[in-house]
Amino acid sequence: MYGPTEHRYNRLTWPEMNEAIARQPVVILPTGSTEQHGRHLPLDVDLFLTESICLETGRRAEGKVLVLPPIPYGLNLHHIDFPGTIHVEPEVFIAFCLNVTKSVAYHGFEKILLVNGHGSNVPLIDLVARRTTLETDSLCAACHYFSLAIEAFAKIKDTEVVAHADEFETSLYLHLATERVQMDKAGAADDVRGRYLSSDSTLPYARFNDYWSRWTDLGVHGDARTATAEKGKVIFETTVARLLELVDEWRAWPIAERRSFHDRPPQRQIRW
């Protein structure tokens, strides 16, 4: 038996799963992508970085976390002109993830957390979390791991743009697997910006994301040339520490009883 400190969901047997349900850990679903990340990084950036953070969080959580196998694909049609990129339609992604979270809820886990590493998945995981909460008796939240680290990274970064295959992601990858990063091929690129719009939705006024082959030759948004493993360690340690705090807060979050404020009984058989 792996026991109560095993943090990998799939390593448990079904009797051990009953024991896990009894202690109510937060079940984490990592979501990433398989997409081009410039000439210097592998296609697994979003998947590898997110899963690494989640697994380390689970390892340090001492039984308070179970980490599901990650979702390796996401919304990526905008990168499809670069060889190797895998795109999954948003409706398929939402339905697939929702089937996973509903299965977890079905077995009796009350707190579920989606931890995402791919920017284009952000609105999709928000919908998955909302629907899981509204369609089950469990609570589900979603976070983009980048948001947990950006404040710390802002104090050590050397470049302006934090977006894709940039100083941030490259530094984190260097910390976790230096041998897979080809720094001699790292480059810099920026998106096309107007007053209200940009080709990679970097301005706060309007959302717009174009096919990347229309505006970049490298498949990069940002400048990875100043990335270091030391910066990556700061990103990693900050993210894991804050994710552990989030887990504690989420585990303690109350699940209150629903109440109806109708004067007459509603038609509860209706399903949306």
All structural domains of the chain with their residue ranges:
9-252
Q: What percent of the chain has pLDDT over 90?
A: 96
Per-residue pLDDT of 83-103, as tens digits, reads: 999 999 999 999 999 999 999
Find how far residue 269's CA is from the centre of its chain. Answer: 35
Ranges of H-type helices in 74-166: 90-106, 122-135, 145-154
Q: Which pTM value belongs to this model?
A: 0.96
Q: Tell me what pLDDT residue 268 has.
A: 85
Find how far residue 148's CA is from the centre of its chain. Answer: 11
Q: What percent of the chain has pLDDT over 70?
A: 99
Phi, psi torsion values for 239, nearest 5 degrees: -65, -45
Per-residue pLDDT of 190-229, as tens digits, reads: 999 999 999 999 999 999 999 999 999 999 999 999 999 9
Q: Rounded to whole angstroms, what are the CA distances from 265 to 26, 131, 156, 261, 269?
A: 35, 24, 58, 9, 11
Q: How confident is the model at residue 272 (pLDDT cuts 50, 70, 90)?
A: confident
Q: Tell me what pLDDT residue 2 has.
A: 54
> Given a cut of 60, is residue 267 above it in pLDDT?
yes
CATH of domain 9-252: 3.40.50.10310
Q: Tell me what pLDDT residue 1 has.
A: 45
Amino acid at 175: H
